[in-house]
Amino acid sequence: MSRQVATSKLVSVLVGLALIVVAAVGFRLSSQPEGFEIVRGTLGDVTRYNKGSAEVTSVRVGTELRDGDRTVTTPGMFVVVRLTVTADRTDAVKIGQTQLLADDATYEHFGIGDSVAADAGFSTSRDVAFEVAPGRLTDLTVEVYDIGVVSGYHQRLRVHLGITKANAAEWAAAAQGQRVNFDNNEYSVGLS
């Protein structure tokens, strides 16, 4: 009899624990993973972003970065892209943060300045540079977004630069000894 009671108690404990484990797993799976929406764009194509549009063009790689009369070299590799934001509606559009995502690394922008802003009716462009490791280039993707002091569920535009596992070594080799011209200024044009 007492053995039956002990078995029953053991089963109760196991059932109770199993229910708690199921709850814990369910809770973990349902938790919000990221506080942003990922918008995919294509290199060279205009993509709707926030209340306007954005575009990533002109991918250049090298080991020397030339900004006016200053030249910087790296033991790794520089990747420079041109960002363009267009405010074709009634509100301004801004990119506040830019980073480069690789398969196994995240690179912050190189030097000062990575923000681009366009007032309503304008289109603004600028170069953004990244210093990357030649061995970690697979799936390099530019990610741009804008969060200030406070933020909500926001958009992040991601544009794949076309560097894959298959051609990463070729990109790294192509960068060796190359000088990349970098323009740190923003250029705006009025929309017609």
- Note the residues at the interface with another protein (CB under 8 A): 11-13, 15-20, 22-24, 26-28, 30-32, 36-37, 39, 50-51, 146-156
Smallest separation, CB 9 to another protein (Å): 9
Beta-sheet pairing, 154-160 with 36-42: parallel
The answer to whether the beta carbons of residues 158 and 137 sit under 8 Å apart is no
Between 70 and 89, CB nearer to another protein: 89
Smallest separation, CB 191 to another protein (Å): 20
Q: How far is residue 80's CA from residue 110's CA, in Å, rounded to a whole number?
A: 9
CA distance to 9, 71, 163, 184, per residue, from 116 (Å): 66, 23, 24, 11
A 10 A CB-CB count for 86 gives 20
Smallest separation, CB 16 to another protein (Å): 3
Between 27 and 166, CB nearer to another protein: 27
Between 157 and 163, CB nearer to another protein: 157
Between 36 and 72, CB nearer to another protein: 36
DSSP state of 109: B
Smallest separation, CB 130 to another protein (Å): 23
